[in-house]
Amino acid sequence: MIEVRKLSKWYQVHEREPGFAASLKSLFHRKFRTVKAVDEISFHIPEGEIVAFLGPNGAGKTTTMKVLTGLLHPSHGEVNVGGFVPFQHKKEFKKQISLVMGQKSQLIWDVPAAETFLVNKVIYEIPDDVYEETLGDLVGLLQLEEVIRKPVRQLSLGERMKCELAAALLHRPRIVFLDEPTIGLDVNMQEVMRRFIQDYNRKYKATILLTSHYMADVTALCERVLVIGKGRLLYDGAIAQLIDRYAPNKRIRLQLAGRTEAQAITELTDGMGTLVHYEFPYVDMDVPREQVSELSARLLSTLNVLDLTIEDPSMESVIAQAFEAKTEGGREDA
């Protein structure tokens, strides 16, 4: 459904020194710097797959999304989305896709969301029976019965975001681009949105490309991730393999009942782990995954332990490790 080959998007950025003289000079002799927002990335996404698109701010995620939806023209490379070239802006292509940006609104502020739904019905030429059926499904899945007739300005952020999703999906797009769909929402509302995205994907077999800074979104929705940094594709593969590659350790956290010297704790690890932090009664250790069980048993049998927990590294730290481990070649396949 989505095919990208050596996609690049470059910008010419004007640069000048501060000061009045530099301002005058720039009127006649302007200096430009080339910024490679996206630099020869390639990937493909089959029908019905939910894929996470991750990276730090400024990595090129939103630029890529805008190229895939036809909002930007690529500087180089080939892009095919649902059998269309996005920047040709064909009517049939626009009926197949939808872009939801968590910080942008398409709803009309002073009227109920239901009015925007009717506007979209006309824009996308949705037949009456299909519109009623789809709207009923979306209202039920998102629990919008008491929401869609209120003026948008009276809605909470969570209610507004649910209406934004409904408006974007009324025409049953085959390909959905979600750019930070849960940003600013509380934990409960984030979970509602995740369940809805899963249900929509299952019912309509939609292909979904998701960007998010909430790693709970990624782990709940996606089995495959694309990691981008400084415009280059760093990783394309399974989340589990990403963690194994860039986070081979787990974190053991101890709460001790009796004071023990840090040296004694280090000696107990016998090279199996690294003491990260110790401030009585709390101990943090990083331990290779395959040695967690053995070391945990040794610590419990030797030390006076009140509590022991074993944690996986956060996805944020895994992405940071992948970014730091970037090679000159850029992309690493699983």
The SS3 call for residue 109 is coil
Q: How confident is the model at residue 207, as a pLDDT?
A: 96
Inform me whether the pLDDT recorded for 67 exceeds 90: yes
113-116 long-range Cβ contacts below 8 angstroms, 24+ apart: 113/144, 113/147, 113/148, 113/150, 113/152, 113/155, 113/163, 113/166, 113/167, 114/148, 114/149, 116/152, 116/163, 116/167
Q: How confident is the model at residue 154, as a pLDDT?
A: 92
Is the pTM higher than 0.75?
yes
Please identify, among 192, 215, 243, the residue that sits at the C-terminal boundary of a domain. 243
186 and 288 share one domain: no
- Share of residues in the chain with pLDDT > 70 (%): 96
pLDDT interval class at 330 (50, 70, 90): very low
Q: Residue 43: inside a domain, yes or no? A: yes
Please identify, among 202, 221, 243, the residue that sits at the C-terminal boundary of a domain. 243
* Total structural domains within the chain: 2
Tell me which residue range forms the domain holding 6.
Answer: 2-96+173-243
Q: Dump pLDDT digits (tens) for 145-177.
A: 889 999 999 998 888 888 988 999 999 999 999
Q: Residue 237: inside a domain, yes or no? A: yes
Mean pLDDT of 274-302: 92
- Residue 74's domain is classified under what CATH number? 3.40.50.300
Q: How confident is the model at residue 312, as a pLDDT?
A: 79
Q: Dump pLDDT digits (tens) for 75-106.
A: 999 999 999 999 999 999 999 999 988 767 88
Q: Residue 125: inside a domain, yes or no? A: no
Q: Dump pLDDT digits (tens) for 16-56.
A: 778 878 777 777 788 888 889 999 999 999 999 999 998 88
86 and 212 share one domain: yes
264 and 228 share one domain: no
196 and 297 share one domain: no
The strand order across the sheet containing 224-229 reads 97-101, 175-179, 207-211, 50-54, 224-229, 232-238, 332-333
pLDDT interval class at 326 (50, 70, 90): low
For residue 279, give the H/E element and its range.
strand 274-279
Q: How confident is the model at residue 12, as a pLDDT?
A: 85
